[in-house]
Amino acid sequence: MLEYSNPLDYILRCTEQGLVPKLFTVQNAKDELKKLREQLAAFKVVAYGKVNDRNDLYDLRLQNNPYDDQTKVIYLYSNKFNNH
């Protein structure tokens, strides 16, 4: 059932085991990947914050400062199609 319900996971497992998945499964996985990419495209960065050593969020900004330590910068996203 994994072949039809989760084609991406199924193809990865086939690859790990050296098996060749069916063409239908590959096409199904491509459709699922396309849907996931569309969902990700619905999100956009709206602000930037920093985290300290305790992972506390602070210093919220609308623009990212490239001179700050980027390993401490957190991107805050919004779903641009969600009108709530």
Domain ranges in the chain? 2-41, 43-79
Tens digit of pLDDT for each residue in 59-74?
A: 999 999 999 999 999 9
Is the distance from CB of 47 to CB of 39 less than 8 angstroms? Answer: no
Tens digit of pLDDT for each residue in 2-44?
A: 788 899 999 999 999 999 999 999 999 999 999 999 888 888 8
Bridge partner residues of 43 (DSSP): 79
List the structure tokens of 6.
Answer: 């989760």
| pTM (predicted TM-score) | 0.60
What pLDDT, on the 0 to 100 scale, is given for residue 19? 92
